[in-house]
Amino acid sequence: MKTGRQPTKNTVSPPHIISWYQLRVKVLEQAESIEDLYPIRSLHYEVLKGDKASISSIRVNDQYRIEFTVKQVATESVITICNILELSNHYK
């Protein structure tokens, strides 16, 4: 008998993705300003456009990215790590 429900999606990320994610969060924690992220080319830091305007992202690897917000406080950029919006496989 069919229930019309989709099978539940496996939301657990592979262990290597989790360790890369943790390394990327450490980089965000250590950044004194958003400009510190520009020279780290592997992050592919970008400010998103369209319906995700004002959200920034960095790459965890080729498939996953971390989306987060950045606020200007006085003359400093403050990276809000506790507001990670998505660890997504955005190519699916």
**Do 53 and 63 contact (CB within 8 A), yes or no?**
no
Rg (CA), the chain: 16
Burial class (CB in 10 A: 0-12, 13-18, 19+), 2: exposed
Tens of pLDDT, residue by residue over 58-79, are 998 888 888 888 877 777 666 6
- Tell me the percentage of the chain whose pLDDT exceeds 90: 26
pLDDT in tens, the chain (92 residues): 445 554 555 556 678 888 998 999 999 889 888 889 999 999 999 999 998 888 899 998 888 888 888 877 777 666 665 545 556 666 65
SS3 (DSSP) at 60: coil
> Hey, what are 73's tokens?
């406080």
What span, in angstroms and rounded, lies between the C-alpha atoms of 81 and 92? 24
DSSP state of 72: E
